[in-house]
Amino acid sequence: MKEYLTNERIRAKQVRVIGPDGQQLGIMDTREALRLAREQDLDLVLVGPTADPPVARIMDYSKWRYEQQVAEKEARKKAKRTEVKSIKFRVKIDNHDYQTKLGHIKRFLEEGHKVKVTIMFRGREVSHPELGQRLLERVAEDLKGLAVVEMKPELLGRDMNMLLAPAKVSA
């Protein structure tokens, strides 16, 4: 973060000054640099406090800060937000239902989202976790090339979960 140079914060007697258009004005007395900045109705901002002598720049700090905030806002707009979508299966799923849910998973992955695939066990089904394991392995196999398994199938209570992430597309 840039730091304003004010009379209370001046620690160094001299600073290396950079002008408003980027040219170096050289090393000068701190008070002289402050006077020069005030004459141009600009701020003297400390940009390199650890340098010897410290580096200060004459600039319109509020305008610079505003431009930084606009740039950050634009970057946030362009940033891709990934969500974790969730799809639930049952152990006794029909082939048509399986294909439909697989289509949903493909769509989510193509949109760049991660997908949490859950197998729900009811009643005595929980005593056969290998059936859920087989189903999740089938999902991973059917999505090979489109998805990578980020979290291997894991039994948590009456649910078995697996996390899929979109595969990196090499261009």
Q: What is the pLDDT confidence band of residue 126, given thresholds at 50, 70 and 90?
A: confident
- Residue 1 burial (CB < 10 Å; 0-12/13-18/19+)? exposed
- 3-76 CATH fold: Ubiquitin-like (UB roll) (3.10.20)
CA atoms within 13 A on the CB side of 157: 3
CATH superfamily of 84-166: Translation initiation factor 3 (IF-3), C-terminal domain (3.30.110.10)
Q: Determine the straight-line distance between the first and last CA of the chain, rounded to whole angstroms.
A: 37
With H, G, I as helix, E, B as strand and everything else as coil, classify residue 54: coil
pLDDT digits (tens, 9 = 90+) for 38-81: 888 888 888 888 888 888 898 888 888 999 999 998 888 877 77
Residue 125's CB: how many other CB atoms inside 10 A?
A: 16
For the residues 20-40, what does the mean pLDDT come to?
87
Tell me the residue type at 49: P
Q: Report the predicted TM-score, pTM, of the whole model to 2 decimal places.
A: 0.55
- pLDDT(11) > 70: no
Strand order in the sheet with 43-48: 3-4, 43-48, 55-59, 14-18, 24-29
For the residues 22-48, what does the mean pLDDT come to?
87
pLDDT digits (tens, 9 = 90+) for 75-105: 888 777 778 899 999 988 899 999 999 999 9
Question: Which residue intervals of the chain bear CATH 3.30.110.10?
Answer: 84-166
Spatial CB neighbours of 119, under 8 Å, sequence gap ≥ 6 = 88, 89, 90, 91, 132, 135, 136, 159, 160, 161
